[in-house]
């Protein structure tokens, strides 16, 4: 997991999208779900890496705001799949 400076958690791995409202991130399908007050966005980038972005409740973000944030996230060639 990569922790971003403003309290976000960014996890990169391949996964299913799970539950939540359907959204589109840079042309690919994703899902936004609210879990224990934390807004969670899941999508697979064009190279097959699954990306989870978690926005803490203190931000009071909408689905549109977390999607807009995700559209600026780029998974680099140095990303590795997590195990566990």
pLDDT tens by residue, 40-75: 999 988 877 888 899 999 999 999 999 999 999 888
pLDDT over threshold 60, residue 84: no
Give the Cα separation of 72 and 67 in Å (integer).
Answer: 9
Give the Cα separation of 23 and 61 in Å (integer).
Answer: 15
Contact 62, 55 (CB under 8 A): no
The verdict on pTM exceeding 0.85 is: no
Could you tell me which of 27, 19, 34 has the C-alpha nearest to residue 66?
A: 34
By the 10 Å C-beta count (0-12 exposed, 13-18 middle, 19+ buried), 79 is classed as: middle
């Amino acid at each position: 997991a990569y922790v971003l400076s403003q309290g976000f958690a960014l996890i990169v791995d391949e996964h299913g999208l799970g539950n939540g409202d359907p959204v589109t991130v840079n042309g690919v399908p994703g899902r936004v779900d609210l879990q224990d007050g934390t807004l969670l966005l899941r999508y697979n980038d064009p190279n097959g890496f699954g990306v989870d972005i978690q926005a803490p409740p203190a931000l009071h973000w909408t689905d549109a705001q977390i999607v807009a944030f995700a559209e600026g996230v780029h998974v680099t060639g140095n990303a590795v799949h997590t195990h566990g």
